[in-house]
Amino acid sequence: MDLKHVSFTRMEDGTKEDYQFLEELESDAAKGLTDRILEELQSTKDILGGYMIDRFAHSLQSATRAYRDDKDEEYVVMALLHDLGDGLAPYNHGELAASVLRPYVSEEIYWIVKHHGIFQAYYYAHHLGNDRDARDRYKAEPFYAVTEEFCAKYDQNCFDPEYENLPLEFFEPMVRQIFNRPAFSYDRR
């Protein structure tokens, strides 16, 4: 069937052919996902100034430190992309980055990136009159300790302009490997 668009204006009126057509288009669009992610990551050079390095360099530093500590590929890619949502979701950037990663990574990696913002606040919230221990509401969660470790070793300390980051080109094959995996279903809980 050679469709140019679907036959419906309401989803409930769609046919099997309509949805097969849309599935093909979605699959084609997904093939460019890695390129769009890498472009979005590079766009973080222009957001949230004031630090000694920009967000892009921070992301490279986070991934470089994780790589040099022999973290696995999935972890290194998470470290690289953990702040991907800063430009579009400044108040819940971890959730946006987690949503991008979720179909391709383990539940642990997803949980770390989703919650890293509240764990990161431990290092500064008290200076702003907020509760630095807000992360403790998750103490009973199985990924509490690894999220705490991520923030300590690969986030809060990754603003050093003297640190020698590996270039994005070094990490690109890892990103492509992760995002070329079969995606989990959207209904994964």
- The CATH number that applies at residue 174 is 1.10.3210.10
Interval 27-65: pLDDT, tens: 888 888 999 999 999 988 877 778 999 999 999 999 999
What gap in Å lies between CA 42 and CA 21, rounded to an integer?
33
How confident is the model over 19-29, as pLDDT tens digits? 888 888 888 88
As for how many domains the chain has, the answer is 1
Q: State the burial class of residue 156 (Cβ atoms within 10 Å of its Cβ: 0-12, 13-18, 19+).
A: middle
* Average pLDDT of the chain to the nearest whole number: 92
Distance CA 98, CA 94 (A): 6
Domain that residue 140 falls in: 33-179
3-state SS track over 17-38: HHHHHHHHHHHHHHCCHHHHHH
Q: Is the pLDDT of residue 2 over 80?
A: no
pLDDT in tens, 77-105: 999 999 998 888 888 999 999 999 999 99
- Does position 149 have pLDDT exceeding 90, yes or no? yes
Model pLDDT, residue 189: 44
Residue that is written with structure tokens 């669009």 in the block: 29
Q: pTM of this prediction?
A: 0.89
Residue 156 located in a structural domain: yes
For residue 22, being part of any structural domain is answered with no
In a domain, 19, yes or no: no
Of the pLDDT bands very low, low, confident and very high (cuts 50, 70, 90), residue 3 is low
From 112, 53, 103, 113, select the one nearest 82 (Cα to Cα).
Answer: 113
Within-domain flag for 188: no
Q: How far apart are CA 135 and CA 96, in angstroms?
A: 19
Distance between CA atoms of residues 186 and 157, nearest Å: 34
Q: Considering the domain boundaries, does residue 7 fall inside one?
A: no
Whether 132 maps to a domain, the answer reads yes
Q: Is residue 78 part of a domain?
A: yes
Residue 72 counted as domain residue: yes
